[in-house]
Amino acid sequence: MASAKSSPVRRGGSGGGSSKEHEQAVSPARWAGVSLVIAAIVAAIVLAMVSSSEPSGPADAAILPAGSPTPSSSASDLTAMVPKGQPRIVNPVSETTSEVDFPMTVELPAEDLPRQDLKLLIFRGTDKVGELEAPKTGGTVIVPSVRVDEGENVLVAVLTGTGGPGPQSEPITLLVDRQAQQLAITAPENKVTVYDDTVTVEGTADVGARVEIVNETTGDPAVTETVGNSGTFDASIKLKPNATNKITASTTDDAGLTPSKTVRVVQVDGRPNVKIRPVAAIDRSALPTPIRIVVAVTDEKGKPLEEAQVDFSLGGADRTTVTETIYTDPTGKAVWKPTVEKGSSTTTTSLQLSVTATSPTSGKSRQIPTTIDLR
């Protein structure tokens, strides 16, 4: 294959004439390139002007190529996405409480915004303390958990949309008090045994507190006492006989805290048990004659009572009554040896014997009447 020969290059001896011929040879090509660049710039400007005159929004997004960024919403669109109604906190109301985590009921006006775009927020100052996603408007909703701190908490509810928060509710103020009132029962002692039908319950509490004292064993209505400046209270409480009585004192403060104290009081009859040894019939023909009367005294558990007072009395229709007081020995026994005199009547068939024993522990007495036959 024959090789191509290079075209000879003219080299003029004179520099000026050769340059003018070369400029005339290349100038048309340069102007063609410049014309293309200018046409492209004009086309771009026209396209930009047309694009800016068309409406933005979903229509733009529909015609944008895949992967292109979605145009931002206008200020009017964002305003339309802000809730218009004012929420109202229904529960709790402004109060004192001991709760630091509780549900809150909020009333929401109806909104035209998509439910999935809404959030109900609860604020304490700038701190968000509760939240409910996609709340249903046009009624009441419950924020399941609102957390507050001890002390004063000013709370508001705000409904937000994609365009921002709407009006906030009227505030409520919760005072959280977790310190219960002071309460103590100073008398009677726990598990004490008493013999009376009532007991006086004494105690201390905060000044001005209302203390309720109730016998849970009897079920009687509670007795209410207001604590005076001394910081003390007392109340007389009726007891169930021969039973352990559960007595509770309680008070409720403004936060709803209800401290309570309990004592158990054992009520026993307190009267001693008295047993008289039988006395044989007395022969009239043997009068006057001494007799022996033996009495055994025990407590409610059957334990012998030492130093129990026993009052004896013996008499009849035809004779003077004789009396004597004797105290029981360590075995709980008292022995009386009176002399039975002759009476004024031969028709009297019996004598009247009365024995009254008094417990040295309870001070309660029991009387036992009986008779001794005359033959």
Task: Please give the pLDDT value at position 179.
Answer: 65
Residue that terminates a domain, selected from 216, 232, 267:
267
Same domain for 278 and 314, yes or no, is yes
Average pLDDT over residues 157-168: 94
Secondary element (H or E) of residue 366: strand 365-373
DSSP string for 206-265 = -TT-EEEEEETTTTPPPEEEE--TTSEEEEEEE--TTEEEEEEEEE--TT----EEEEEE
Q: Give pLDDT tens digits for 289-332.
A: 999 999 999 998 899 999 999 999 999 888 899 999 999 999 99
Q: Give pLDDT tens digits for 65-115.
A: 333 344 444 555 656 789 999 999 999 887 877 788 889 999 999 999 999
Average pLDDT over residues 272-277: 95
Is residue 366 situated within a structural domain?
yes
Is residue 296 situated within a structural domain?
yes
Task: Please give the pLDDT value at position 23.
Answer: 43
Reported in sequence order, the residue ranges of 99-216 that DSSP labels E, i.e. its strands, are: 101-108, 119-124, 127-133, 139-147, 151-161, 164-168, 172-176, 183-187, 192-194, 198-205, 210-215
Same domain for 172 and 189, yes or no, is no
In the block, residue with structure tokens 């924020």: 143
Is residue 83 situated within a structural domain?
yes
Same domain for 196 and 249, yes or no, is yes
CA distance 41 to 11: 40
Same domain for 130 and 212, yes or no, is no
Task: Please give the pLDDT value at position 252.
Answer: 75
Residue 137, pLDDT above cutoff 90: yes
Q: Could you give the percent of the chain with pLDDT greater than 70?
A: 76
Residue that terminates a domain, selected from 130, 145, 176:
176
- Name the DSSP class of 351: E
Task: Please give the pLDDT value at position 68.
Answer: 34
153-176 as b/e, with b when 16 or more CB fall inside 10 Å?
Answer: bebbbbbbbbbeebeebeebebeb
Same domain for 238 and 149, yes or no, is no
1-19 as b/e, with b when 16 or more CB fall inside 10 Å?
Answer: eeeeeeeeeeeeeeeeeee
Is residue 169 situated within a structural domain?
yes
Domain hosting residue 170, numbered range: 79-176
Same domain for 134 and 203, yes or no, is no
Q: What's the structural domain count of the chain?
A: 3
| Of residues 164 and 180, more confidently modeled | 164
Residue-averaged pLDDT of the chain: 82
Backbone torsions φ then ψ of 66, nearest 5 degrees: -60, 140
Q: Give pLDDT tens digits for 325-362.
A: 999 999 999 999 999 998 888 888 899 999 999 999 88
Residue 172, pLDDT above cutoff 80: yes
Is residue 36 situated within a structural domain?
no
Q: Give pLDDT tens digits for 193-232.
A: 998 899 999 999 888 888 999 999 999 999 999 888 898 9
Task: Please give the pLDDT value at position 182.
Answer: 81
88-97, 172-181, 250-259: lowest mean pLDDT where? Answer: 250-259
Is residue 121 situated within a structural domain?
yes
Is residue 22 situated within a structural domain?
no
| Of residues 278 and 208, more confidently modeled | 278
Q: What is the CATH number of the domain that holds 97?
A: 2.60.40.10
Same domain for 262 and 279, yes or no, is no
Average pLDDT over residues 162-166: 93
Average pLDDT over residues 241-246: 94
Same domain for 263 and 205, yes or no, is yes
Residue 60, pLDDT above cutoff 50: no
Same domain for 195 and 229, yes or no, is yes
Listed in sequence order, the DSSP H helices in the chain are 15-53, 58-63, 75-80
- Name the DSSP class of 286: G
Residue that terminates a domain, selected from 206, 232, 267:
267
Same domain for 170 and 193, yes or no, is no
| Of residues 160 and 14, more confidently modeled | 160
Task: Please give the pLDDT value at position 251.
Answer: 86
Residue 25, pLDDT above cutoff 60: no
Same domain for 284 and 207, yes or no, is no
Task: Please give the pLDDT value at position 76.
Answer: 56
Angstrom distances, CA of residue 184 to CA of 92, 189, 239, 246: 32, 12, 20, 15
Task: Please give the pLDDT value at position 13.
Answer: 42
Is residue 48 situated within a structural domain?
no
Task: Please give the pLDDT value at position 11.
Answer: 39
Task: Please give the pLDDT value at position 34.
Answer: 53
Q: What is the CATH number of the domain that holds 334?
A: 2.60.40.1940
Q: Are 358 and 273 in contact (CB under 8 A)?
A: no
Same domain for 190 and 160, yes or no, is no
